[in-house]
Amino acid sequence: MGTIKSKIFSFSSAIALAAVITQFTFSEISLAADTPAAHVATDNVTVVQDSLIQRLPKAELHLHIEGTLEPEMMFKLAEKNKIKIPFSTPDQVRKAYEFTDLQSFLNIYYQGTDVLQTSEDFFDLTWAYLTKAHKDNVKHVEIFFDPQTHTQRGIPFKTVITGIQKALDKAKDEYQMSSYLIMSFLRHLSEEDAFKTLEQALPYKNQIKAVGLDSSEVGNPPEKFRRVFEAAREEGFLTVAHAGEEAPPEYVWQAINLLKVKRVDHGVQSIKDPKLMKYLKDNKIPITVCPLSNIKLRVFDTMKDHNLKQLLEQGIVVTINSDDPAYFGGYLNKNYEACKENLPLTDEDLVTLAKNSFNASFLPDAEKEKYIKEIDKIVIAQ
């Protein structure tokens, strides 16, 4: 995500300010006349660089660290580690990022991870993401990592988690950014293999907050991993799962009823089932939506077709996230900006989404409340 140039917002007139003094409403918020929003078109999605989005503290809850591998870093690591990759330049890599569905993305995604060989590589990868997140005013991250992607090619579990954790610790010290790790099982592999990965993770229980489920969704329903999720819960891990990205609402039901998830990743197909929508709303089960990802993988044809605003209006605890931003064209703020411009979202929607990002997190209640109050202060301070 590029640097946001417009960093302040104010009320448009003294009249609006007077109205705020008597009765504050979101409709009275506007961008300052001398700091207009900058419009940018990228990958056929129009985004507007918005100062309110930049000012709001946010949490990111759906981010695959392997999906932050930018082409330049891919080439740098390939050269360092003497790994052959089927591309000649970073631009050639970007041209390959034209996906028709989830599987076409995964094919190149797993190929790219071959360059990650050492603990230092995983540190560099994670630190690069955290630096970008900090620029987007992200205060808390809950990061997915896929150990099976690496252990299957001979990289020790310890190598992966040590490098990632070192970067998370640095972000805490330098950026005051909190973080949790979510270990994700690959659903195209067997449950037996997932059990082996769970066993490998046990020495690092204090570093892993939750387990998740990702990779090829259709044909690999949550019920396939019922036993390993039960075992993970018994070990004290929280649970989440990708469900309802491309697959039908039944996958979301399975994630809730069989895997006992605390939140649903993606979940956009839930809107096709009114009973499921009511259940999500009544039980305040959050869904971590990834707008630019959904467009890039053809879940929706255009951003204007995305159902995020409908989900929000129907009372679902929706959050905005970047998923695999190196592949999908945007980090967190760009996802917010694309939604604001194309759905469109109001300033009130943006504030709700920022608050949702903390309320849907695994942070302690006191930490959630701290950030909610910070958001409220930003809204009423000007």
Q: Which residues are catalytic?
A: 245
Is 324 marked as binding a ligand? yes
Is 242 annotated in some ligand binding site? yes
> Is residue 371 a contact partner of residue 358, using CB atoms and an 8 Å limit?
yes
DSSP 345-357: --HHHHHHHHHHH
Cα separation, 315 vs 57, in Å, equals: 22
* Chain centre distance of CA 241: 13
User: Is 373:353 a contact under the CB 8 Å cutoff?
Assistant: no
Rounded CA gap, 17 and 7, in Å? 19
Length of the chain: 382
Tokens standing for residue 275: 């009973």
Any idea what DSSP says for residue 309?
H
Is 349 annotated as a binding-site member?
no
Token pair 């409403």 is found at 25
Strand partners, 215: none
- 150 has binding-site annotation: no
Q: Which of 34, 28, 102, 374 is nearest to 265 (CA)?
A: 102
- Known binding residue 266? Answer is no
Residue stretches of the annotated binding site for Zn(2+) = 62, 64, 242, 323
Residue stretches of the annotated binding site for substrate = 324
Residue stretches of the annotated binding site = 62, 64, 242, 323-324
